[in-house]
Structure 1
Amino acid sequence: MSLPKRDDARHTYGEYRQWTEDARYELIEGVAYAMAPAPSRIHQEVLGELFRQVANALVGHPCRPFIAPFDVRLPKGNEADDEIDTVVQPDLSVVCDPDKLDARGCRGAPDWIAEVLSPATAGHDHIRKRAVYERAGVREYWLVHPVDRIVTIYRLEDGRYGVPEVRELRGRQQVAAVEGVEIDWESFAEFSGD
């Protein structure tokens, strides 16, 4: 299933900030994709547990965790904010460089992004967003599949994502891009289905 486009025009962050409709969008290379309807309860429980573990691990650490909605602007170069054509709202992002944070969110690649997949967003997250995150330099990208109980992990190597690591949601998993963060998948045992 593909997320619907707002229209066929190309947009920038400057336009995006002016939109007054209730719908939320992400811009990917100027194309405005409507965000999926409210996520399922399971999606929210999985995301909440993931955020809780990450936030607890980062107490007193310079890295900061954020959950959607949180604008992550991904410039291609030094263009002004209003000219940026890619703005995403990852389910969970961790930013370790405080200079990337401002009142609007994050400008530049977070160190780690995790998306909790749902039927409405799986293709978008696997294809479009993975390519965007690779181009932007996101060091580590996780796709958490609550229904299948697996996680797909991409790590940036020489500017490209290598072969992903795919593992079951069992045991513990270190986040390589963020020192001191380890996810205990056993805490997710009560969440199943989507």
Structure 2
Amino acid sequence: MPIPDLKKKYTYADYLTWPEDERWEIIDGVPYMLAAPSWQHQAVSRELMVQFGSYLKDKPCEVFAAPFDLRIPCEGEKDEDTKNVVQPDIVVICDKKRLKGTGFYGVPTLIIEITSPATARKDKIQKFNMYEAAGVKEYWIVEPDQRVVMVFLLEDGRYGRPHTYSEEDKIKVSIFEDLEIDLKSVFLY
């Protein structure tokens, strides 16, 4: 397949025809090719998955890591017509009936994006706005280089001022009353 035409709008149906060995996202119909993450990114992702996974064992919600096709539809869009197909680094799903095929169709409960120089702008602007508009209850932006996590909570349809944490802190996860994430072990590298 040739590289998608950046002037054309694409959907999940188009995305499914692209080579499986390439990683892409589509935001508002515009395709973005993804690069391989750094080892620091992967270390942070692994530790967050361990902590969330241990907590969620035998509970109704599940945690998934990229690659995972999250399709966030605009109002009335069918799955195959969705123009937003993203690969969040970590996603917590509490509505398991919407798990389909290669991921999830709908709005997850929590999303974590781990930034890199190539993705920071997209994570902080485009994805932030998309997740807020869709109604994602909790959105984390993790910055491995600075060893900082910004947590945004949805209140009255908007993300308020972020709660910012450093490597010495523990994050009380708002959607689970008894879960704290220890950032000391997340930023251990």
Normalised by the length of structure 1, the TM-score is: 0.90
Normalised by the length of structure 2, the TM-score is: 0.93
Q: More deviation in 178-187 or 83-92?
A: 178-187
Stretches of structure 2 that go unaligned for 5 or more consecutive residues are none
Which residue does 1:19 correspond to in 2? 18
Q: Which runs of 4+ in 1 moved over 6 A?
A: none
Q: Deviations over 1:109-168 (max 9, x none)?
A: 110011111111111101111011111111000011111111111111111111111121
Which residue does 2:63 correspond to in 1? 65
Shift of 1:72: 0.6
- Structure-2 change in CA distance of 1:13 and 1:125 (3 Å): same
Structure 1 vs Structure 2: percent identity of aligned residues? 43
Which residue does 1:110 correspond to in 2? 108
Q: More deviation in 15-24 or 111-120?
A: 15-24
Which residue does 2:76 correspond to in 1? 78
Q: More deviation in 51-60 or 177-186?
A: 177-186
**Distance in 2 (alpha carbons) for counterparts of 1:32 and 1:162:** 29
Q: Secondary structure at the match of 1:75?
A: coil
1:153–1:166 CA contact under 8 A, matched in 2: yes
By relative contact order (CA 8 Å, sep 6+), the higher-ranking structure is 1
Which residue does 2:32 correspond to in 1? 33
Shift of 1:55: 0.2
Q: Secondary structure at the match of 1:38?
A: coil
Which residue does 1:139 correspond to in 2? 137
- Which of these residues, 150, 153, 174, is aligned with residue 151 of structure 2? 153
Which residue does 2:170 correspond to in 1? 172
CA RMSD of superposed structures (Å): 1.7
Residue identity matched to 2:39: R
Which residue does 1:97 correspond to in 2? 95
Shift of 1:104: 2.9
**Distance in 2 (alpha carbons) for counterparts of 1:21 and 1:92:** 20
Stretches of structure 1 that go unaligned for 5 or more consecutive residues are none
Aligned length: 187
Residue identity matched to 1:54: F
Shift of 1:6: 5.5
**Distance in 2 (alpha carbons) for counterparts of 1:113 and 1:61:** 18
Q: More deviation in 171-180 or 67-76?
A: 171-180
